[in-house]
């Protein structure tokens, strides 16, 4: 059996990656409809050994579609995903539906069982920084019981889409354009992603808290500081994890090595730890610098890196589609 696929946001950073992942995973595709706004309608896209013209997204775009991937921003999902969900399964990369009731928010390595309750035909893909974090936290929580997490992120420019990537490249080449990020990003770091809320946290930081709770079915305290760094691709995170019991770094290393989708690179004496260049264009989440706290044996610190366009978006979405096919057909 093959599936007819619509991809809303096909001309964007995540859209391009969804096409690559569908190709690499040899997804059983019937017809393929790349959709975007009027601006890029008519643009040619190469996919699945053919050339396609990008079409403008309308409410009628989804007739005959089996699965619709959305990665065109939350306002586009708000308008078009309900029309798509009348006839197709929607897998949405935006934040629009993530915290809504009856919308599963899924990282297949963590809560694949949540796909079983999908009454609205819409499945949400979590925020990119959240996906890699819960992949790391979940096996440790199952083994030792987490009581608190403090995380700081080092997020790549392409997390802000194609325009973010281009803005950093332009700034690196000496141009002074500053439209996507609130300050120059080249040779700088910006401790703000998305807008500030009255609490003093940004929306991006609150996504990491609320989405992690929903995915892990847990409510331990999480505090996040999200920072944009002048890296083109792949997000890094520094995590401090508190446990119910004493945990040795060696125990955590063993658990993580044997957990789905994780690769441990942790040999500081040889200068081995993951970096954005380690993770870019890969489907795995990399972990290093696993160490005990100096003062409290119930606390561990570690570092993790993943390609946010793949692990944090496209690959997660395609894995959800593959799981759904497995259980529903």
Active site residues: 128, 235
Nearest to 21 by CA among 203, 301, 283: 283
Q: Which of 22, 45, 67, 72 binds ligand NAP (CB under 6 A)?
A: 72
Of 162 and 289, CB closest to ligand NAP: 162
Distance of alpha carbon 313 from alpha carbon 15, whole angstroms = 9
Which of these ranges, 5-13, 113-121, 176-184, 266-274, lies near ligand NAP under the rule CB under 6 A? Answer: 5-13
Which of these ranges, 36-44, 104-112, 236-244, 268-276, lies near ligand NAP under the rule CB under 6 A? Answer: 36-44
Of 77 and 146, CB closest to ligand NAP: 77
Which of these ranges, 114-122, 140-148, 155-163, 197-205, lies near ligand NAP under the rule CB under 6 A? Answer: 155-163
Q: Which of 4, 25, 48, 74 binds ligand NAP (CB under 6 A)?
A: 74
Distance of alpha carbon 268 from alpha carbon 142, whole angstroms = 27
Distance of alpha carbon 128 from alpha carbon 278, whole angstroms = 17
The answer to whether residue 135 forms part of the interface with ligand NAP (CB under 6 A) is no
Nearest to 124 by CA among 97, 163, 151, 84: 97
The answer to whether residue 39 forms part of the interface with ligand NAP (CB under 6 A) is yes
Of 8 and 231, CB closest to ligand NAP: 8
Distance of alpha carbon 240 from alpha carbon 5, whole angstroms = 40
Output the smallest distance, CB 297 to ligand NAP, in A.
Answer: 36
For residue 300 the two structure tokens come to 């561990």
- 319 bridge partner residues: none
**Residue pair 194/129 in contact by the 8 Å Cβ criterion:** no
Q: What angle do CA 101, 7, 319 make, to 5 degrees?
A: 60
Distance of alpha carbon 46 from alpha carbon 63, whole angstroms = 23
Q: Where along the sequence are the contacts to ligand NAP (CB under 6 A)? A: 8-15, 36-37, 39-40, 57, 71-74, 76, 93-94, 128, 158-159, 161-163, 308-309, 312-313
């Amino acid at each position: 059996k093959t599936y007819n696929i619509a991809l809303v946001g096909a001309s964007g950073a995540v859209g391009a990656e969804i096409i690559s992942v569908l190709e690499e995973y040899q997804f059983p595709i019937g017809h393929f409809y790349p959709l975007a706004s009027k601006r890029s309608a008519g643009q040619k896209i190469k996919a699945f050994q053919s050339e396609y013209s990008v079409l403008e997204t309308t409410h009628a775009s989804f007739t005959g579609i089996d699965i619709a991937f959305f990665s065109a921003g939350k306002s586009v999902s708000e308008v078009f995903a309900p029309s798509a969900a009348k006839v197709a399964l929607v897998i949405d990369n935006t934040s629009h539906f993530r915290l809504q009731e009856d919308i599963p928010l899924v990282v297949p390595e963590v809560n694949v069982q949540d796909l079983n309750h999908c009454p609205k035909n819409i499945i949400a893909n979590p925020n990119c920084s959240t996906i890699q974090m819960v992949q790391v936290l979940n096996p440790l929580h199952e083994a030792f019981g987490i009581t608190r997490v403090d995380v700081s992120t080092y997020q790549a420019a392409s997390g802000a889409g194609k325009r973010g990537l281009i803005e950093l490249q332009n700034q690196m080449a000496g141009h002074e354009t500053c439209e996507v990020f609130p300050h120059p990003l080249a040779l700088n770091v910006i401790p703000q992603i998305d807008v500030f809320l009255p609490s003093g946290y940004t929306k991006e930081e609150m996504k990491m808290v609320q989405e992690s709770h929903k995915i892990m079915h847990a409510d331990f305290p999480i505090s996040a500081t999200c920072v944009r760094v002048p890296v083109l691709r792949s997000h890094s995170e520094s995590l401090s994890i508190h446990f119910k019991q004493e945990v040795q770094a060696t125990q955590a290393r063993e658990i993580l090595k044997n957990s789905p989708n994780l690769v441990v690179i942790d040999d500081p004496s040889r200068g081995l730890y993951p970096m954005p260049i380690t993770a870019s264009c890969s489907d795995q989440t990399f972990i290093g610098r696993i160490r005990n706290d100096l003062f409290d044996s119930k606390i561990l610190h570690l570092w993790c890196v993943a390609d946010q366009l793949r692990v944090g978006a496209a690959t997660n979405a395609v894995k959800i589609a593959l799981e759904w096919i497995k259980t529903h057909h």
